[in-house]
Amino acid sequence: MPATSKAIKFGLTIQPENVSWPEMQKLWQFADDVGFDTAFTSDHMISVLWMDEPDTPCMDGWTVLTGAAAVTKRIRLGVMITGVTYRHPSVLAKMAVTVDHISNGRLILGIGAAWNVAEHTAYGIPFHSNADRIHRLREAVQIIKSLWSQERTTIDGRYYQIKDAPFSPKPLQQPRPPIWIGGWGEKLTLKVVAEEADGWNVTGSPSSLVPKIEALQRHCDAASRDIDKIEKSVMFLRMILCDSKAQAADQIGAQALAQAARRGGDDPAGQFLLGSTEEMKEHIGKFIDLGFSHFIPVVTAPYDYDALQRFVEEVIPAFRRPGLPTA
């Protein structure tokens, strides 16, 4: 399978869990200054990094993103991934376009079908079947695209009804901000990615993502769409830079590895970015061979700025291709 022809990009996922806003703001501005291409936050009301400790402080991702948009200048940013069940698509469209304006056109809209059953149960949000949530996702993306582009929107959908809805201001980005869809369901989710998305975000090891890429290719063929037109990104569950991958795996802990194992695949540790800079480059290269071009490790407080600086100086330059844009 050929490697991607796209420019290779690097971002961070700065999840708003067990951390203060001043700490997050410092990291957002660091990422903006030192050369990361993107930075994202997450969309949860209960911690997903510390799932066994539900009282862990967890801020709202979209509110955090608004603050980040105001204190950064260059980096592209978004919520990775917004749960479609948490907000009506017209409300999300308005929130997103506001961030697009505050950021001067730097928003990436990440959206998915949502997955955290415990969160829905705790807050009384209906958690529908997988198929139902994915069909809602498709309808929501279509509504958002229409609101962002049309003078008036009327959609009488199965799940959402929009009647002669005005929408202003329109996005600064034209024709609109890119929409990334997160998920790995081969029958339904990847079909929506092929038909509706500008980008695809997923977590997994190289071996576990081979069938996902193959499924996406089949859906793109059915939709008469070039798979290379979809930006493909990998979110690593954690990044630990140290002397070796074996040493880093010990730092992750059994709970995190068990959580990764539940996602499937024969290499749970492959869902993390671990080890020396050379081991990281080798691992990233395996994803590039599958067609992925955007790499986004999760970082948690207390932030290891020395490791992040080394990553910028020793890993990222190996993938910068002459003649291709980096933003």
Residue listed under structure tokens 């100086």: 313
Burial class (CB in 10 A: 0-12, 13-18, 19+), 302: exposed
Spans of all domains in the chain: 9-319
Positions in the chain short of pLDDT 50? 1-2, 323-327
Residue 114 has which token pair? 């949502």
Would you call 154 helix, strand, or coil by DSSP?
strand
Q: How confident is the model at residue 1, as a pLDDT?
A: 36
Q: How confident is the model at residue 114, as a pLDDT?
A: 96
**Residues 284 and 224: beta-carbon distance below 8 Å:** no
Q: How confident is the model at residue 108, as a pLDDT?
A: 98
Q: Single out the residue of 277, 327, 324 nearest to residue 6, CA to CA.
A: 324
36-62: string of b/e by CB count within 10 Å (b at 16+)?
bbbbbbbbbbbbbbbeeeeeeebbebb
Four-residue CA torsion sign, 147, 149, 152, 157: negative
Instruction: Report pLDDT digits (tens) over 140-161.
Output: 999 999 999 999 999 999 999 9
| DSSP H or E segment with residue 80 | strand 76-83
Q: How confident is the model at residue 308, as a pLDDT?
A: 97
Q: How confident is the model at residue 243, as a pLDDT?
A: 81
Q: How confident is the model at residue 37, as a pLDDT?
A: 98
Q: Write the CATH number of the domain with boundaries 9-319.
A: 3.20.20.30
